[in-house]
Amino acid sequence: MKTLPHYLLAHLEGNERQIELNLIIADIADAGKKIAHEVQRSGLLDLHGAAGGQNVHDDEVQKLDEHSNSIMKDILSANEHIIGLASEEEEDVVDVSNGKDHGYLVAFDPLDGSSNIDINMPVGTIFSVLPSAGDIKEDFLQPAGKQVAAGYVLYGSSTVMVFSLGNGVHEFTLDPDNGEFVLTTENIKMLENTGYIAYNPYVLPNMDPKKAEAYRQLCDQTARSMRWIGAMVADVHRTLFKGGFFAYPSVGKGGNYKGKLRMQYEAKPLGWLVEQAGGKAILDDKPINDLTSSDLHQKVSVELGDAGTMRLFESFL
């Protein structure tokens, strides 16, 4: 079976940019291995629970959020091709350009779904890679379609890394015996009109009534089971492999609806990845690829899924 280094070398295409991107993917894989090691032992190392503080979203930061964020920052800031970092756990961009006027930007959620940690449910690291000509703050806000790579590392019953460099979506599984990521699924293509429905039913009364009705009709018309893991990275992984629908709509009172999911390092990378696998993603009710971010920590609504299920859903809007 092909290891990740073997796969990356075999797909170099001989151009400089591919080499740089492959080195970034290799570093993210290394960070994922370190985070996986901590996640597996979190209950033994007193890494459960809150770190005592809030992030920019006023979410309570878990100890493992902080730890994972440090691992990602330490490894990625040492990569000569990366000039800027953005993280759910960092209020502002982290300039690691060292005077270079071009390179790549990596936005990441170091540990998505961290409220699952203490109950041993899946969590994951999500990443998005964008090109930059030096205006780091501005270049992070580029549309999803400008991403040159995106993916995640999912810490579940096994640790898997799923990503695309724009030429197909591939899954690598961490072999605990030798510490290598091994190619386990190449060119993932989403099954259509099948799979599970995933959204938090609690939000229905607090969302746009027309969209709530579309959610209800999708459930009634498809009569499919519902799954809600509480970690977007895990729900999207299941949707990639089984087909289906994942959503987190804007919610609020009195028509003042606001998104919950983070555009930069949840919705943009995972939505783009779903589209790379033949699915469809709508962020803030717009097609994903042309949508720029308003700010680094913008929150949006997300509806994504296999192409057939999304066609049916959109017919109800």
Show which residues are catalytic: 59, 65, 88-89, 109, 111-112, 266
- CB of 48 vs ligand P6P, minimal distance in Å: 16
Taking the C-alpha atoms of residue 161 and residue 168, their distance in angstroms, rounded to an integer, is: 14
Nearer to ligand P6P, 112 or 171 (CB): 112
Q: How far apart are CA 317 and CA 314, in angstroms?
A: 5
The span of 4-12, 46-54, 185-193, 224-232 binding ligand P6P (CB under 6 A) equals: 224-232
Using CA atoms, how far residue 217 sits from 89, 229, 285, 313, in Å, is: 37, 22, 18, 8
Considering only residues 131, 230, 278, 287, which one is a binding residue for ligand P6P as defined by CB under 6 A?
230
Task: State the residue for tokens 């799923």.
Answer: 162
Q: Which of 66, 89, 90, 112 binds ligand P6P (CB under 6 A)?
A: 112
Q: Does 113 bind ligand P6P (CB under 6 A)?
A: yes
- With beta carbons less than 8 A apart as the criterion, state whether 239 and 198 touch: yes
End-to-end CA distance of the chain: 45
Q: Which of 3, 200, 289, 292 binds ligand P6P (CB under 6 A)?
A: 200
Q: Which is nearer to ligand P6P, 181 or 248 (CB)?
A: 248
Give Cα separations from 19 to 10, 24, 162 (angstroms): 11, 9, 19
**Closest CB to ligand P6P among 41 and 57?**
57
Choices 21-29, 229-237, 281-289, 308-316; region in contact with ligand P6P by CB under 6 A: 229-237
Give the C-alpha distances (Å, rounded to integers) separating 102 from 50, 87, 142: 37, 20, 15
Q: How far apart are CA 259 and CA 253, in angstroms?
A: 12
Cβ atoms of residues 181 and 173 within 8 Å:
yes
**Choice between 96 and 233, CB closer to ligand P6P:** 233
Identify residues 244-263 at the interface with ligand P6P (CB under 6 A): 248, 261
Q: Please, what sign has the CA dihedral across residues 128, 85, 302, 237? A: positive
Name the token pair of 60: 């309570």
Q: Which residue's beta carbon is nearest to the bound ligand P6P?
A: 232
Residue 300 lies near ligand P6P (rule: CB under 6 A): no
Instruction: Indicate the residue among 39 and 231 with the shorter CB distance to ligand P6P.
Output: 231
Under the criterion CB under 6 A, does residue 236 sit at the interface with ligand P6P? no
Q: List residues binding ligand P6P (CB under 6 A).
A: 112-113, 200, 230-232, 248, 261
